[in-house]
Amino acid sequence: MSISMYSASVPVAIRILNNLSTILGKAAAHCEARKIDEAALLNSRIFPDMFPLTRQVQIAADMIKGG
């Protein structure tokens, strides 16, 4: 039995992007509930040597695109 490249990759990519969307939605709701400026969260880093959240999201999208 063979598996196509589409079957092996697209469902995984969709799940990753849906999970990322859910996480970002929860972050937006948290900002709204706590009256936090969303820009502050988008520019934040979990650790000083990490990229900010906006760059992390861009990297995730680029990985899905194959870049």
Q: Are 62 and 51 in contact (CB under 8 A)?
A: no
Q: Average pLDDT, stretch 33-39?
A: 96
pTM for the complete prediction? 0.82
The residue ranges of every structural domain in the chain are 9-65
The label of the residue with tokens 């906006």 reads: 54
Count the Cβ atoms, other than its own, within 10 Å of residue 25.
Answer: 10
- List alpha helices for 1-67, DSSP H: 5-34, 38-42, 53-65
C-alpha dihedral (36, 42, 45, 50), degrees to nearest 10: 180
Q: Which tens digits make up the pLDDT trace of 38-51? A: 999 999 999 999 99
How far apart are the C-alpha atoms of 42 and 57, rounded to whole Å? 10
